[in-house]
């Protein structure tokens, strides 16, 4: 087993003996002949384990322990104590020592203790690295957007991620509701525990309750063994219920009880099972309409909607499309082991102008397909799916004496699109800013600010100066 060990002792014979013994076991061993030297080595070195004698002149083993834990909380320390120092050994364990060895000890005992402590320490470091990777995969990095609408989403996530509160995520299919749920879980104190997911629309009415709460053996035909449900699997962590609006009414009542009382019974069972679960739900349905129609319980609706997060469709944040295209290109190139192929100006403009009824999910699929199938070094308009290729926005990229960078092209396309988009809205309403803003889903003040940024005047919209807005 590989691992770096620092041995600390002011007796040279002990240092040489332990270094030889552990070196034969495959460890990389370094030594320090005093506590003071150990402090310096810990500061500058990268060790997995420190083995230190308790009694040394000057800086003693307890001080080495405290310093090691302060420098690196994952750095394991084994204390070697003299006979009759059990009380001090217990104190060392309270201060964070991984274990202790009372003198005299034999070589086999040392090997066993070092191996166990090293394995535990390496597993802890691997777990921390895994969590860091999980943050990268499931954190904000996967939720791409700089639009005002997406910035509001990020702000809410930051505010509520560490609060043990039920969240209802709403948005059209393909907008990234599951990514938001991931970000909430992996930025919460529950991040080290399970995040269990269940799609309520993917299961038959008969199976939903069993999947959610589990069942006992013989509860129904085919139940040949006891099975735990999603609630049990998520104990201590997070349960994400996707498409919760499709849940049957009968199951809704049991879900409400599980949320309120934090307990439930398996299908076919009588024993109450208590769990500690944070619930995040998502839907693309109009739950208010479902409540009025009697298809969704009003009390459950309010229980789920403690905090509501609305994910805007792609059509309401077109300025994010170039960012998404760039992100999906790099992601797909890495996954499929391909070189990144940039989009031509016409192709990027088509992506910005397209409806994208499937939202971010549809855009991602289109970019992945184009990257894999485009014959040239760039992705052209002809390489995009038919609808995207035929839906280019009327804006054109300004001619440039030298080729544009992707960022410059993106900025120009977005600016041209926004200008034409707002102008069209103004013209449809005869220059009435209030009505145009309402139509495109913007506040009047924001609409006017955007007009100023883009240099849009009422004259361009066919409005005569002096007439009321």
Give the chain as a 3 state SS string: CCCEEEEECCCHHHHHHHHHHHHHCCCEEEEECCHHHHHHHHHHCCCCEEEEECCCCCCCHHHHHHHHHHHCCCCEEEEEECCCCHHHHHHHHHCCCCEEEECCCCHHHHHHHHHHHHHHHHHHHHHHHHHHHHHHHHCHHHCCCCCHHHHHHHHHHHHHCCCCCCEEEECCCCCCHHHHHHHHHHCCCCCCCCEEEEECCCCCHHHHHHHHHEECCCCCCCCCCCEECHHHHCCCCEEEEECHHHCCHHHHHHHHHHHHHCEECCECCCCCEECCCEEEEEECCCHHHHHHCCCCCHHHHHHHCCEEEECCCHHHCHHHHHHHHHHHHHHHHHHHCCCCCCECHHHHHHHHHCCCCCHHHHHHHHHHHHHHHCCCCCECHHHCCHHHHCCCCCCCCCCCCCCCCHHHHHHHHHHHHHHHHHHHHHHHCCCCHHHHHHHHCCCHHHHHHHHHHHCCCCCCCCCCCCCCC
Q: In the chain, which segments carry CATH 3.40.50.300?
A: 139-312
Instruction: Tell me what pLDDT residue 409 has.
Output: 62
The class of domain 394-469 in CATH terms is mainly alpha
Instruction: Tell me what pLDDT residue 148 has.
Output: 85
Label residue 390 exposed, middle or buried (CB < 10 Å: 0-12, 13-18, 19+).
exposed
Which two structure tokens, joined as six digits, stand for 386? 């038919």
Instruction: Tell me what pLDDT residue 399 has.
Output: 38
CATH topology of domain 139-312: Rossmann fold (3.40.50)
Is 3.40.50.2300 the CATH number for 4-128? yes
Distance (Å, whole) CA 368 – CA 364: 6
Instruction: Tell me what pLDDT residue 8 has.
Output: 94
Closest CA relative to residue 426, chosen from 399, 458, 392, 398: 458
What pTM, to 2 d.p., does this model score?
A: 0.57
Instruction: Tell me what pLDDT residue 341 has.
Output: 92
Q: In the chain, which segments carry CATH 1.10.10?
A: 394-469
Within the chain, which residues score under 70 in pLDDT? 1-2, 45, 83-84, 123-142, 387-410, 458-469
Instruction: Tell me what pLDDT residue 130 has.
Output: 53
In CATH, which of 1.10.8.60, 3.20.20.70, 1.10.3720.10, 3.40.50.410 is domain 314-391? 1.10.8.60
Q: In the chain, which segments carry CATH 1.10.8.60?
A: 314-391
Q: In the chain, which segments carry CATH 3.40.50.2300?
A: 4-128
Which residues on neighbouring strands pair with residue 278, listed in sequence order? 238
């Amino acid at each position: 087993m590989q691992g770096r060990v620092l041995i600390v002792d002011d007796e040279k014979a002990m240092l040489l003996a332990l270094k030889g013994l552990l070196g034969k076991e495959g460890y990389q061993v370094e030594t320090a002949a005093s506590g003071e030297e150990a402090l310096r080595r810990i500061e500058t070195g990268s060790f997995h384990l420190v083995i230190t004698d308790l009694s040394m002149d000057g800086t003693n083993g307890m001080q080495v322990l405290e310093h090691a834990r302060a420098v690196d909380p994952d750095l394991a320390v084994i204390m070697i104590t003299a006979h009759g120092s059990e009380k001090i050994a217990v104190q060392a364990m309270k201060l964070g020592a991984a274990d202790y060895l009372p003198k005299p000890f034999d070589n086999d005992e040392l090997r066993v203790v070092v191996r166990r402590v090293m394995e535990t320490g390496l597993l802890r470091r691997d777990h921390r690295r895994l969590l860091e990777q999980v943050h990268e995969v499931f954190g904000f990095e996967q939720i791409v957007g700089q639009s005002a609408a997406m910035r509001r989403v990020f702000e809410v996530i930051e505010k509520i991620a560490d609060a043990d509160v039920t969240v209802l995520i709403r948005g059209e299919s393909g907008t990234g509701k599951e990514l938001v749920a991931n970000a909430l879980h992996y930025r919460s104190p529950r991040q080290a525990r399970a995040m269990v997911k269940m799609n309520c629309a993917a299961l038959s009415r008969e199976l939903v309750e069993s999947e959610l709460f589990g069942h006992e053996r013989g509860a129904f035909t085919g139940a040949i063994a006891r099975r735990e449900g999603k609630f049990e699997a998520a104990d201590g962590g997070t349960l994400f219920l996707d498409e919760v609006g499709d849940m049957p009414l009968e199951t809704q009542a049991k879900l409400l009880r599980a949320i309120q009382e934090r307990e439930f019974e398996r299908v076919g069972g009588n024993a109450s099972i208590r769990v500690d679960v944070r619930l995040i739900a998502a839907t693309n349905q109009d739950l208010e309409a479902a409540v009025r129609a009697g298809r969704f319980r009003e009390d459950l609706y309010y229980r789920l909607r403690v905090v509501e997060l609305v994910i805007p469709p792609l059509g309401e944040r077109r300025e994010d499309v170039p960012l998404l295209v760039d992100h999906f290109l790099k992601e797909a190139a890495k996954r499929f082991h391909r070189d990144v192929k940039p989009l031509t100006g016409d192709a990027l403009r088509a992506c910005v102008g397209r409806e994208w009824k499937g939202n971010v999910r549809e855009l991602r699929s289109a970019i992945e397909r184009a990257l894999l199938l485009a014959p040239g070094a760039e992705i052209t308009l002809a390489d995009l799916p038919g609808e995207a290729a035929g839906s280019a926005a009327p804006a054109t990229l300004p001619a440039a004496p030298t080729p544009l960078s992707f960022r410059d092209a993106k900025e120009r396309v977005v600016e041209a699109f926004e200008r034409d988009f707002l102008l069209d809205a103004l013209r449809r309403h005869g220059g009435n800013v209030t009505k145009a803003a309402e139509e495109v889903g913007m506040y009047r003040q924001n609409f006017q600010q955007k007009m100023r940024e883009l240099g849009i005047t009422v004259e361009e919209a066919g409005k005569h100066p002096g007439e009321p807005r």
